[in-house]
Amino acid sequence: MASIQSTQYGNVPLPDGIISRRIQNNNGLDMHILEARPDDKKRPLIILAHGFPELAYSWRHVLPGLASLGYVVVAPDQRGFGRTTGWSNRYEDSLAPFNLVNLARDIVGLVRALGYEEVKAVIGHDAGSYVAGTCALIRPDIFKACVMMSAPFSGVPPLVEMSEAILKRPSIIQLELQLNALKSPRKHYHIYYSTPSANEEMMSAPQGLNQFIRAYYHHKSADWIHNQPFKLSSWDAEIMAAMPTYYIMNKNETMPQTVAHHMPTKSEIRACHWLTDDELAVYTSEYTRNTFQGGLQWYRCTVEGVNQISLSLFAGRQINVPSLFLSGKNDWGIYQTPGAIEHMRDQVCSSMKDIALIEGAGHWVQQEQSQAVIENLAAFLRTH
C-alpha cells in the first residue's frame, strides 16, 4: 500500500515526528503524503489540503503540533503538485481531472486508503480551502468538521434561475475587459494564470526560479508592509484595482516581473523565520521538476467554468458540519472576491463557529504564524 518511509524531503530533514511516504489514493494517483502521528494506535484523522504554489511541505510546522493533541495528521501533495504522480501537466490535456469534485474524490480515496471511515476535520488553505469546503459540503458523513483558510469558499453555484443573485458579480471575463480599459490597464491574475504562456514565463523567470518564488512568497506575506487589506465595496474595476499587483496585475507584466519589484532585501530574507533558504529550496526543487502547470489547471477550472459545471449537481446544498475560517490579518485573500466572506458565513455554512484573523500573518498564515494557527485549530477541534 505504501512505499518506504522517509524523514527527509530532498536534502532537508523533516521536523521531528513527520514521515514522508507514498500511497495509492483509489482515484488514479500515487499520492505523496507527509504524516504525523503520536503513536501506532488508531487516532482520529485530520487532513490538511494545501494551495498554490504550495505543497504538503507547507504544513510542516502545523503537522507535529496537531499530532501532539492526539490526532493522526496527513498532508498530501494534491493532484498537480509535488511528488504525487498520476496526473498530466500538459496545458492541452483535459481539465476534467482537476475539477473540485474530483479533487474532493482524491481526498475521499486517500481517507479510505489510510484505513479510515471518517475524518475529524478537513482543513484547507488557499485553493485547498475550496477542496476542504467541497469535501464537507458533499460528504458530511465522512468529514465531520471543516476549516477554510485564507480563501472564503463561496459554495456551489446557484440554480439557473438564481444565477444573477450570487454575489452579484460579473463574470471574470467581463471584469477582465473592464480592468484592461482602465487608464492604467490592469488584468486579473486568474486570467493570467489561465494563459498558455504563464507556466513557461514563471519557470523561465529572469531572476531565476528560486528568486521568483522568494519574491512571490514575500509579496503576499505580512513581511511586505503594504499588505493592509480592507473590504472592497463592489466588483467595479476601479475599486478592484486597489488590490496589490499580485492579484490585479499590470496588464503588460508577467508574474515574475510583477513580484520582482518587491524582492525582499538580504536582511529581510535573513529575518524570514518562516521560510529559510533551505525550506525555500524544497519548493524550488519540486517546481523545477514538475513546473507550475498542474496547479495552474486549478485556476483554469474556475475561469473556464469546469468547476461550476461539476458542482452544479449540488446546487442548494450548504456546509452543515461545524466550520471555521482562519486567515492572516494582513491577507488580501480575505477580500479579493467582494462579498465572498459574508456569503460564506451567512449562506454557505449553516454552522460557522468563527472567523478568526491572526495578527502578524499575511497569505501564508500556517507558515508565518504556525503556533497561532495550531492554537486556533486546537480550540476549534476541542469544542467541535
What does the pLDDT look like over 262-292, one tens digit per residue? Answer: 999 999 999 999 999 999 999 999 999 999 9
- Tell me: do 125 and 251 sit in the same domain: no
Whether omega for the bond prior to residue 53 falls within 30 degrees of 0, making it cis, is yes
- Tell me: do 154 and 22 sit in the same domain: yes
240, 201 Cβ separation under 8 angstroms: no
* Mean pLDDT, rounded, for 330-350: 95
- pLDDT confidence band for 37 (50 / 70 / 90): confident
- 306, part of any domain: no
Give 162-193 pLDDT, tens digit per residue.
444 444 556 889 999 999 999 999 999 999 99
pTM: 0.95
- Tell me: do 173 and 149 sit in the same domain: no
Domain extent, residue 282, equals 166-295
- Tell me: do 60 and 112 sit in the same domain: yes
What dihedral do alpha carbons 233, 359, 70, 138 form, nearest 10°?
10
- The tally of domains found in the chain comes to 2
Q: Which of 62-76, 147-161, 314-328, 347-361 has the lowest mean pLDDT?
A: 147-161
- 276, part of any domain: yes
- Tell me: do 153 and 172 sit in the same domain: no
- Tell me: do 336 and 227 sit in the same domain: no
- Tell me: do 358 and 283 sit in the same domain: no
**Amino acid at the residue 19:** I
* Mean pLDDT, all residues of the chain: 93
Distances from the Cα of 83 to the Cαs of 62, 78, 126, 276, 285, in angstroms?
Answer: 20, 9, 20, 21, 11
- 269, part of any domain: yes
- Tell me: do 105 and 180 sit in the same domain: no
- Tell me: do 120 and 233 sit in the same domain: no
Length of the chain measured in residues: 384
Strand ordering across the sheet containing 30-36: 18-24, 30-36, 72-76, 45-49, 121-125, 146-149, 323-328, 352-358
Distances from the Cα of 308 to the Cαs of 101, 123, 126, 134, 337, in angstroms?
Answer: 10, 22, 18, 12, 16
